[in-house]
Structure 1
Protein backbone atom coordinates (compact mmCIF):
# COMPACT_ATOMS: atom_id res chain seq x y z
CA UNK A 1 0.00 0.00 0.00
CA UNK A 2 2.81 2.41 0.91
CA UNK A 3 4.68 1.54 -2.31
CA UNK A 4 1.56 2.29 -4.36
CA UNK A 5 1.03 5.60 -2.57
CA UNK A 6 4.68 6.46 -3.15
CA UNK A 7 4.31 5.81 -6.89
CA UNK A 8 1.14 7.91 -7.03
CA UNK A 9 2.79 10.75 -5.13
CA UNK A 10 5.80 10.68 -7.45
CA UNK A 11 3.62 10.79 -10.57
CA UNK A 12 1.50 13.58 -9.12
CA UNK A 13 4.53 15.66 -8.17
CA UNK A 14 6.05 15.12 -11.62
CA UNK A 15 2.78 16.17 -13.30
CA UNK A 16 2.54 19.32 -11.19
CA UNK A 17 6.13 20.28 -12.00
CA UNK A 18 5.68 19.66 -15.74
CA UNK A 19 2.41 21.60 -15.81
CA UNK A 20 3.91 24.53 -13.92
CA UNK A 21 6.93 24.75 -16.24
CA UNK A 22 4.79 24.48 -19.38
CA UNK A 23 2.39 27.04 -17.96
CA UNK A 24 5.23 29.45 -17.30
CA UNK A 25 6.73 28.98 -20.77
CA UNK A 26 3.40 29.65 -22.48
CA UNK A 27 2.94 32.75 -20.33
CA UNK A 28 6.39 34.04 -21.25
CA UNK A 29 5.82 33.53 -24.99
CA UNK A 30 2.39 35.19 -24.87
CA UNK A 31 3.79 38.12 -22.89
CA UNK A 32 6.71 38.51 -25.33
CA UNK A 33 4.24 38.46 -28.25
CA UNK A 34 2.44 41.52 -26.88
CA UNK A 35 -0.23 39.86 -24.69
CA UNK A 36 0.28 41.54 -21.34
CA UNK A 37 -1.59 41.40 -18.06
CA UNK A 38 -4.30 38.77 -17.52
CA UNK A 39 -4.26 37.86 -21.22
CA UNK A 40 -0.79 36.36 -20.91
CA UNK A 41 -2.04 34.12 -18.09
CA UNK A 42 -5.14 33.06 -20.09
CA UNK A 43 -3.11 31.58 -22.95
CA UNK A 44 -1.61 28.67 -20.94
CA UNK A 45 -5.04 27.82 -19.58
CA UNK A 46 -6.51 27.78 -23.10
CA UNK A 47 -3.78 25.50 -24.45
CA UNK A 48 -4.01 23.08 -21.53
CA UNK A 49 -7.82 22.90 -21.71
CA UNK A 50 -7.73 22.11 -25.44
CA UNK A 51 -5.09 19.45 -24.77
CA UNK A 52 -7.25 17.85 -22.05
CA UNK A 53 -10.41 17.98 -24.22
CA UNK A 54 -8.63 16.28 -27.12
CA UNK A 55 -7.18 13.63 -24.81
CA UNK A 56 -10.61 12.87 -23.38
CA UNK A 57 -11.95 12.46 -26.89
CA UNK A 58 -9.21 9.94 -27.67
CA UNK A 59 -9.99 8.04 -24.46
CA UNK A 60 -13.69 7.87 -25.31
CA UNK A 61 -13.00 6.14 -28.62
CA UNK A 62 -15.28 8.47 -30.62
CA UNK A 63 -14.11 10.57 -33.61
CA UNK A 64 -10.46 9.74 -33.06
CA UNK A 65 -9.39 11.68 -36.17
CA UNK A 66 -10.64 14.98 -34.74
CA UNK A 67 -9.23 14.07 -31.33
CA UNK A 68 -5.74 13.41 -32.72
CA UNK A 69 -5.85 16.57 -34.86
CA UNK A 70 -6.59 18.95 -31.99
CA UNK A 71 -4.38 17.03 -29.58
CA UNK A 72 -1.40 17.54 -31.90
CA UNK A 73 -2.27 21.24 -32.35
CA UNK A 74 -2.40 21.84 -28.60
CA UNK A 75 0.73 19.73 -28.07
CA UNK A 76 2.59 21.74 -30.74
CA UNK A 77 1.58 25.01 -29.04
CA UNK A 78 2.76 23.77 -25.63
CA UNK A 79 5.92 22.12 -26.91
CA UNK A 80 6.71 25.10 -29.17
CA UNK A 81 6.54 27.46 -26.21
CA UNK A 82 8.87 25.22 -24.21
CA UNK A 83 11.41 25.14 -27.03
CA UNK A 84 11.09 28.86 -27.77
CA UNK A 85 12.01 29.75 -24.20
CA UNK A 86 15.09 27.51 -24.27
CA UNK A 87 17.17 30.27 -25.88
CA UNK A 88 16.28 29.51 -29.52
CA UNK A 89 14.04 32.58 -29.72
CA UNK A 90 14.87 36.14 -28.74
CA UNK A 91 11.90 37.04 -26.57
CA UNK A 92 12.87 40.70 -26.79
CA UNK A 93 12.45 40.67 -30.57
CA UNK A 94 9.60 38.28 -31.34
CA UNK A 95 9.01 37.77 -35.09
CA UNK A 96 5.78 38.93 -36.66
CA UNK A 97 4.55 35.44 -37.51
CA UNK A 98 4.69 34.46 -33.85
CA UNK A 99 2.75 37.56 -32.83
CA UNK A 100 0.10 36.68 -35.45
CA UNK A 101 -0.03 33.07 -34.24
CA UNK A 102 -0.40 34.08 -30.60
CA UNK A 103 -3.06 36.67 -31.43
CA UNK A 104 -5.05 34.14 -33.47
CA UNK A 105 -4.81 31.35 -30.91
CA UNK A 106 -8.07 32.20 -29.06
CA UNK A 107 -10.11 31.69 -32.25
CA UNK A 108 -8.27 28.42 -32.99
CA UNK A 109 -8.83 27.11 -29.45
CA UNK A 110 -12.51 28.09 -29.50
CA UNK A 111 -12.99 26.33 -32.85
CA UNK A 112 -11.27 23.19 -31.63
CA UNK A 113 -13.24 23.00 -28.39
CA UNK A 114 -16.53 23.59 -30.19
CA UNK A 115 -15.83 20.90 -32.78
CA UNK A 116 -14.79 18.41 -30.14
CA UNK A 117 -17.94 18.94 -28.08
CA UNK A 118 -20.26 19.07 -31.10
CA UNK A 119 -18.87 15.92 -32.71
CA UNK A 120 -19.12 14.08 -29.39
CA UNK A 121 -22.80 15.00 -29.00
CA UNK A 122 -23.53 14.10 -32.64
CA UNK A 123 -21.93 10.66 -32.36
CA UNK A 124 -23.95 9.89 -29.23
CA UNK A 125 -27.19 10.96 -30.93
CA UNK A 126 -26.47 8.78 -33.96
CA UNK A 127 -25.73 5.68 -31.92
CA UNK A 128 -28.71 6.03 -29.60
CA UNK A 129 -32.29 5.42 -30.70
CA UNK A 130 -34.87 7.73 -29.03
CA UNK A 131 -37.51 5.09 -29.31
CA UNK A 132 -35.30 2.60 -27.48
CA UNK A 133 -34.53 5.13 -24.78
CA UNK A 134 -38.22 5.77 -24.11
CA UNK A 135 -39.15 2.10 -24.22
CA UNK A 136 -38.99 0.41 -20.79
CA UNK A 137 -36.50 -2.41 -20.36
CA UNK A 138 -37.77 -5.93 -20.90
CA UNK A 139 -40.42 -4.89 -23.44
CA UNK A 140 -39.67 -5.94 -26.99
CA UNK A 141 -40.74 -4.06 -30.07
CA UNK A 142 -43.89 -5.79 -31.32
CA UNK A 143 -45.17 -3.14 -33.73
CA UNK A 144 -44.31 -5.15 -36.84
CA UNK A 145 -45.44 -8.47 -35.47
CA UNK A 146 -48.96 -9.55 -36.53
CA UNK A 147 -51.52 -10.08 -33.84
CA UNK A 148 -51.95 -13.74 -33.08
CA UNK A 149 -55.21 -15.15 -34.41
CA UNK A 150 -57.33 -16.44 -31.53
CA UNK A 151 -58.09 -20.09 -31.75
CA UNK A 152 -61.79 -20.75 -32.05
CA UNK A 153 -63.21 -23.57 -29.95
CA UNK A 154 -63.91 -26.70 -31.93
CA UNK A 155 -67.60 -27.52 -31.86
CA UNK A 156 -68.21 -31.27 -31.95
CA UNK A 157 -70.36 -32.41 -34.79
CA UNK A 158 -73.81 -33.48 -33.62
CA UNK A 159 -75.60 -35.94 -35.77
CA UNK A 160 -79.19 -34.89 -36.43
CA UNK A 161 -81.75 -36.98 -34.63
CA UNK A 162 -84.29 -38.33 -37.15
CA UNK A 163 -87.84 -37.27 -36.51
CA UNK A 164 -90.12 -40.05 -35.36
CA UNK A 165 -92.28 -41.40 -38.19
CA UNK A 166 -95.89 -40.36 -38.10
CA UNK A 167 -98.20 -42.76 -36.38
CA UNK A 168 -99.80 -44.57 -39.28
CA UNK A 169 -101.77 -46.98 -37.17
CA UNK A 170 -105.52 -46.46 -37.69
CA UNK A 171 -107.50 -44.97 -34.84
CA UNK A 172 -110.16 -47.36 -33.57
CA UNK A 173 -113.54 -45.68 -33.71
CA UNK A 174 -116.55 -47.32 -32.00
CA UNK A 175 -119.47 -48.10 -34.33
CA UNK A 176 -121.85 -46.26 -32.07
CA UNK A 177 -119.71 -43.12 -32.32
CA UNK A 178 -119.72 -43.44 -36.11
CA UNK A 179 -123.53 -43.70 -36.18
CA UNK A 180 -123.79 -40.66 -33.92
CA UNK A 181 -121.40 -38.76 -36.17
CA UNK A 182 -123.57 -39.60 -39.21
CA UNK A 183 -126.59 -38.10 -37.48
CA UNK A 184 -124.60 -34.95 -36.61
CA UNK A 185 -123.37 -34.71 -40.22
CA UNK A 186 -126.88 -35.16 -41.64
CA UNK A 187 -128.26 -32.52 -39.30
CA UNK A 188 -125.41 -30.13 -40.33
CA UNK A 189 -126.05 -30.76 -44.02
CA UNK A 190 -129.81 -30.20 -43.63
CA UNK A 191 -129.22 -26.98 -41.73
CA UNK A 192 -126.36 -25.51 -43.78
CA UNK A 193 -126.58 -27.34 -47.07
CA UNK A 194 -122.86 -28.26 -46.94
CA UNK A 195 -120.99 -31.31 -45.78
CA UNK A 196 -119.54 -31.11 -42.30
CA UNK A 197 -115.75 -30.72 -42.07
CA UNK A 198 -113.36 -32.38 -39.63
CA UNK A 199 -112.87 -29.37 -37.28
CA UNK A 200 -116.61 -28.84 -36.93
CA UNK A 201 -117.14 -32.55 -36.40
CA UNK A 202 -114.45 -32.59 -33.74
CA UNK A 203 -116.05 -29.61 -31.98
CA UNK A 204 -119.52 -31.20 -32.08
CA UNK A 205 -118.37 -34.62 -30.89
CA UNK A 206 -115.66 -33.45 -28.48
CA UNK A 207 -113.08 -35.95 -29.72
CA UNK A 208 -109.33 -35.49 -30.43
CA UNK A 209 -108.21 -34.46 -33.96
CA UNK A 210 -106.94 -37.94 -35.02
CA UNK A 211 -110.25 -39.53 -34.11
CA UNK A 212 -112.21 -36.75 -35.81
CA UNK A 213 -110.18 -37.30 -38.98
CA UNK A 214 -110.82 -41.05 -38.81
CA UNK A 215 -114.59 -40.48 -38.37
CA UNK A 216 -114.64 -37.98 -41.23
CA UNK A 217 -113.11 -40.57 -43.60
CA UNK A 218 -115.83 -43.06 -42.72
CA UNK A 219 -118.71 -40.70 -43.33
Structure 2
Protein backbone atom coordinates (compact mmCIF):
# COMPACT_ATOMS: atom_id res chain seq x y z
CA UNK A 1 0.00 0.00 0.00
CA UNK A 2 1.36 3.43 -0.96
CA UNK A 3 1.73 5.68 2.05
CA UNK A 4 0.32 9.17 1.74
CA UNK A 5 2.86 11.98 1.63
CA UNK A 6 2.23 14.44 4.45
CA UNK A 7 3.99 17.80 4.78
CA UNK A 8 6.62 17.89 7.50
CA UNK A 9 7.78 21.24 8.90
CA UNK A 10 11.24 19.88 9.72
CA UNK A 11 11.67 18.47 6.20
CA UNK A 12 10.55 21.75 4.59
CA UNK A 13 12.95 23.68 6.82
CA UNK A 14 15.82 21.33 5.88
CA UNK A 15 15.09 21.78 2.15
CA UNK A 16 15.04 25.57 2.47
CA UNK A 17 18.26 25.66 4.51
CA UNK A 18 20.00 23.31 2.09
CA UNK A 19 18.96 25.35 -0.93
CA UNK A 20 20.18 28.61 0.63
CA UNK A 21 23.51 27.06 1.67
CA UNK A 22 23.91 25.57 -1.82
CA UNK A 23 23.31 28.97 -3.42
CA UNK A 24 25.74 30.73 -1.08
CA UNK A 25 28.49 28.24 -1.85
CA UNK A 26 27.86 28.68 -5.57
CA UNK A 27 28.02 32.47 -5.32
CA UNK A 28 31.23 32.34 -3.29
CA UNK A 29 32.94 29.96 -5.72
CA UNK A 30 31.83 32.08 -8.68
CA UNK A 31 33.16 35.25 -7.02
CA UNK A 32 36.52 33.50 -6.41
CA UNK A 33 36.98 32.89 -10.13
CA UNK A 34 35.27 29.50 -10.59
CA UNK A 35 32.80 29.86 -13.45
CA UNK A 36 30.44 27.55 -15.29
CA UNK A 37 29.91 24.05 -14.03
CA UNK A 38 32.82 24.39 -11.59
CA UNK A 39 30.90 26.93 -9.50
CA UNK A 40 28.02 24.40 -9.17
CA UNK A 41 30.38 21.55 -8.27
CA UNK A 42 31.71 23.30 -5.17
CA UNK A 43 28.48 23.21 -3.12
CA UNK A 44 27.93 19.58 -4.12
CA UNK A 45 31.43 18.70 -2.89
CA UNK A 46 30.97 20.49 0.45
CA UNK A 47 27.55 18.95 1.12
CA UNK A 48 28.70 15.44 0.17
CA UNK A 49 31.68 15.65 2.51
CA UNK A 50 29.39 16.84 5.30
CA UNK A 51 26.95 13.96 4.71
CA UNK A 52 29.78 11.37 4.48
CA UNK A 53 31.28 12.49 7.79
CA UNK A 54 27.87 12.45 9.50
CA UNK A 55 27.12 8.98 8.12
CA UNK A 56 30.46 7.72 9.47
CA UNK A 57 29.60 9.13 12.90
CA UNK A 58 26.18 7.44 12.87
CA UNK A 59 27.39 4.04 11.63
CA UNK A 60 30.77 3.58 13.39
CA UNK A 61 30.34 5.83 16.41
CA UNK A 62 32.30 8.94 17.40
CA UNK A 63 35.86 9.09 16.06
CA UNK A 64 38.47 11.80 15.60
CA UNK A 65 38.62 11.25 11.84
CA UNK A 66 34.87 11.66 11.29
CA UNK A 67 34.59 14.63 13.66
CA UNK A 68 37.56 16.38 11.98
CA UNK A 69 36.12 16.22 8.47
CA UNK A 70 32.62 16.99 9.70
CA UNK A 71 33.88 20.25 11.25
CA UNK A 72 35.90 21.11 8.12
CA UNK A 73 32.83 20.74 5.88
CA UNK A 74 30.66 22.60 8.41
CA UNK A 75 33.12 25.52 8.55
CA UNK A 76 33.24 25.67 4.75
CA UNK A 77 29.45 25.76 4.49
CA UNK A 78 29.01 28.22 7.35
CA UNK A 79 31.83 30.41 6.06
CA UNK A 80 30.17 30.70 2.66
CA UNK A 81 26.88 31.72 4.27
CA UNK A 82 28.62 34.42 6.33
CA UNK A 83 30.84 35.65 3.48
CA UNK A 84 27.90 36.25 1.16
CA UNK A 85 26.10 38.33 3.81
CA UNK A 86 28.16 41.44 2.98
CA UNK A 87 31.19 40.82 5.19
CA UNK A 88 33.39 40.42 2.10
CA UNK A 89 33.50 42.41 -1.12
CA UNK A 90 32.76 39.61 -3.58
CA UNK A 91 33.41 41.94 -6.54
CA UNK A 92 37.04 42.12 -5.34
CA UNK A 93 37.62 38.87 -3.37
CA UNK A 94 40.78 38.71 -1.24
CA UNK A 95 43.68 36.48 -2.17
CA UNK A 96 43.14 34.08 0.75
CA UNK A 97 39.59 33.41 -0.44
CA UNK A 98 40.80 32.54 -3.94
CA UNK A 99 43.47 30.32 -2.40
CA UNK A 100 40.96 28.47 -0.22
CA UNK A 101 38.43 27.93 -3.01
CA UNK A 102 41.13 26.71 -5.40
CA UNK A 103 42.53 24.26 -2.84
CA UNK A 104 39.18 22.86 -1.71
CA UNK A 105 38.91 20.04 -4.35
CA UNK A 106 42.15 18.40 -3.16
CA UNK A 107 41.11 18.75 0.48
CA UNK A 108 37.65 17.30 -0.18
CA UNK A 109 39.14 14.40 -2.16
CA UNK A 110 41.48 13.57 0.74
CA UNK A 111 38.65 13.71 3.27
CA UNK A 112 36.29 11.57 1.19
CA UNK A 113 39.00 8.94 0.61
CA UNK A 114 39.89 8.70 4.29
CA UNK A 115 36.24 8.45 5.34
CA UNK A 116 35.53 5.74 2.77
CA UNK A 117 38.61 3.55 3.21
CA UNK A 118 39.78 4.02 6.82
CA UNK A 119 38.96 0.87 8.85
CA UNK A 120 36.77 1.18 11.90
CA UNK A 121 38.22 0.60 15.37
CA UNK A 122 38.15 -3.08 16.41
CA UNK A 123 35.65 -4.09 19.02
CA UNK A 124 37.07 -4.77 22.46
CA UNK A 125 36.98 -8.27 23.85
CA UNK A 126 33.67 -9.03 25.59
CA UNK A 127 33.72 -9.16 29.33
CA UNK A 128 32.48 -12.34 31.01
CA UNK A 129 28.77 -12.02 31.74
CA UNK A 130 28.91 -13.87 35.00
CA UNK A 131 31.42 -15.23 37.44
CA UNK A 132 30.80 -18.48 39.22
CA UNK A 133 31.88 -18.29 42.88
CA UNK A 134 34.47 -20.80 43.89
CA UNK A 135 33.20 -23.75 45.84
CA UNK A 136 34.78 -24.30 49.26
CA UNK A 137 37.38 -27.04 49.48
CA UNK A 138 36.01 -30.32 50.78
CA UNK A 139 36.56 -30.88 54.47
CA UNK A 140 39.00 -33.56 55.41
CA UNK A 141 37.46 -36.91 56.26
CA UNK A 142 37.56 -37.42 60.01
CA UNK A 143 38.83 -40.76 61.15
CA UNK A 144 36.57 -42.62 63.59
CA UNK A 145 37.66 -42.51 67.18
CA UNK A 146 39.55 -45.58 68.29
CA UNK A 147 37.48 -47.73 70.65
CA UNK A 148 39.50 -48.95 73.58
CA UNK A 149 39.19 -52.69 73.93
CA UNK A 150 39.42 -54.43 77.26
CA UNK A 151 42.80 -55.76 78.19
CA UNK A 152 43.45 -59.35 77.27
CA UNK A 153 46.30 -61.66 77.99
CA UNK A 154 49.26 -61.15 75.71
CA UNK A 155 49.17 -63.55 72.81
CA UNK A 156 52.13 -64.03 70.53
CA UNK A 157 51.06 -62.89 67.09
CA UNK A 158 52.75 -63.96 63.87
CA UNK A 159 55.08 -61.51 62.15
CA UNK A 160 52.94 -61.34 59.00
CA UNK A 161 49.98 -59.65 60.68
CA UNK A 162 48.08 -57.73 57.95
CA UNK A 163 48.07 -53.95 58.37
CA UNK A 164 44.83 -52.14 58.95
CA UNK A 165 43.30 -50.66 55.75
CA UNK A 166 43.85 -46.94 55.39
CA UNK A 167 41.20 -44.54 54.16
CA UNK A 168 41.63 -43.58 50.52
CA UNK A 169 41.76 -39.83 49.76
CA UNK A 170 38.51 -38.42 48.48
CA UNK A 171 39.02 -36.69 45.10
CA UNK A 172 37.98 -33.03 44.94
CA UNK A 173 34.77 -32.37 42.99
CA UNK A 174 35.12 -30.82 39.54
CA UNK A 175 34.54 -27.07 39.39
CA UNK A 176 31.70 -26.21 36.94
CA UNK A 177 32.73 -23.68 34.28
CA UNK A 178 30.18 -21.89 32.04
CA UNK A 179 30.63 -22.35 28.29
CA UNK A 180 30.62 -18.57 27.72
CA UNK A 181 33.54 -18.17 30.15
CA UNK A 182 35.48 -20.94 28.40
CA UNK A 183 34.94 -19.24 25.00
CA UNK A 184 36.11 -15.91 26.42
CA UNK A 185 39.16 -17.55 27.99
CA UNK A 186 40.02 -19.16 24.64
CA UNK A 187 39.93 -15.73 22.93
CA UNK A 188 42.17 -14.25 25.64
CA UNK A 189 44.63 -17.16 25.33
CA UNK A 190 44.72 -16.85 21.52
CA UNK A 191 45.37 -13.11 21.76
CA UNK A 192 48.19 -13.73 24.29
CA UNK A 193 49.75 -16.35 22.00
CA UNK A 194 49.53 -13.97 19.01
CA UNK A 195 51.23 -11.16 20.95
CA UNK A 196 53.95 -13.10 22.81
CA UNK A 197 54.31 -16.28 20.75
CA UNK A 198 53.95 -18.42 23.89
CA UNK A 199 50.94 -20.17 25.39
CA UNK A 200 49.34 -18.51 28.41
CA UNK A 201 50.08 -20.14 31.75
CA UNK A 202 47.47 -20.74 34.43
CA UNK A 203 48.54 -17.84 36.69
CA UNK A 204 48.32 -15.32 33.83
CA UNK A 205 44.94 -16.74 32.77
CA UNK A 206 43.62 -16.43 36.34
CA UNK A 207 44.83 -12.81 36.57
CA UNK A 208 43.30 -11.84 33.21
CA UNK A 209 39.92 -13.42 33.97
CA UNK A 210 39.80 -12.55 37.67
CA UNK A 211 38.67 -16.04 38.74
CA UNK A 212 39.83 -18.23 41.66
CA UNK A 213 42.66 -20.71 41.24
CA UNK A 214 40.45 -23.88 41.11
CA UNK A 215 38.33 -22.40 38.33
CA UNK A 216 41.44 -21.22 36.43
CA UNK A 217 42.82 -24.79 36.59
CA UNK A 218 39.51 -26.16 35.28
CA UNK A 219 39.48 -23.64 32.41
CA UNK A 220 43.12 -24.36 31.52
CA UNK A 221 42.32 -28.09 31.40
CA UNK A 222 39.53 -27.44 28.87
CA UNK A 223 41.73 -25.19 26.71
CA UNK A 224 44.47 -27.79 26.27
TM-score by length of 1: 0.53
Distance 2:120 2:50 in 1: 20
1:146 deviation in Å? 9.7
1:63 deviation in Å? 5.7
Whether the aligned pair in 1 keeps the contact of 2:47 and 2:73 (CA below 8 Å) is yes
Residue 56 of structure 1: aligned partner: 55
Residue 21 of structure 1: aligned partner: 20
1:35 deviation in Å? 0.3
Tell me, which stretches of 5 or more residues in structure 1 are unaligned? 128-139, 148-219
1:58 deviation in Å? 1.2
How many pairs does the alignment contain? Answer: 131
Distance 1:123 1:73 in 2: 20
Whether the aligned pair in 2 keeps the contact of 1:33 and 1:99 (CA below 8 Å) is yes
Q: Which moved more, 1:52-61 or 1:73-82?
A: 52-61
Deviations 1:63-116 (A, max 9, x none): 611111000000000000000000001000000111010000000000001001
- What secondary structure does 1:53 align onto? helix
Tell me, which stretches of 5 or more residues in structure 2 are unaligned? 124-182, 191-219
Residue 33 of structure 2: aligned partner: 34
Residue 79 of structure 2: aligned partner: 80
Deviations 1:133-165 (A, max 9, x none): xxxxxxx99xx9999xxxxxxxxxxxxxxxxxx
- What secondary structure does 1:123 align onto? coil
Residue 123 of structure 1: aligned partner: 120
Instruction: State the 4+ residue runs in structure 1 displaced beyond 4 angstroms.
Output: 144-147
Q: What is the root-mean-square deviation of aligned Cα atoms in Å?
A: 2.9
Distance 2:96 2:82 in 1: 16
Distance 1:93 1:24 in 2: 19
Distance 1:63 1:103 in 2: 30
Which of these two proteins has the greater Rg computed from alpha carbons?
1
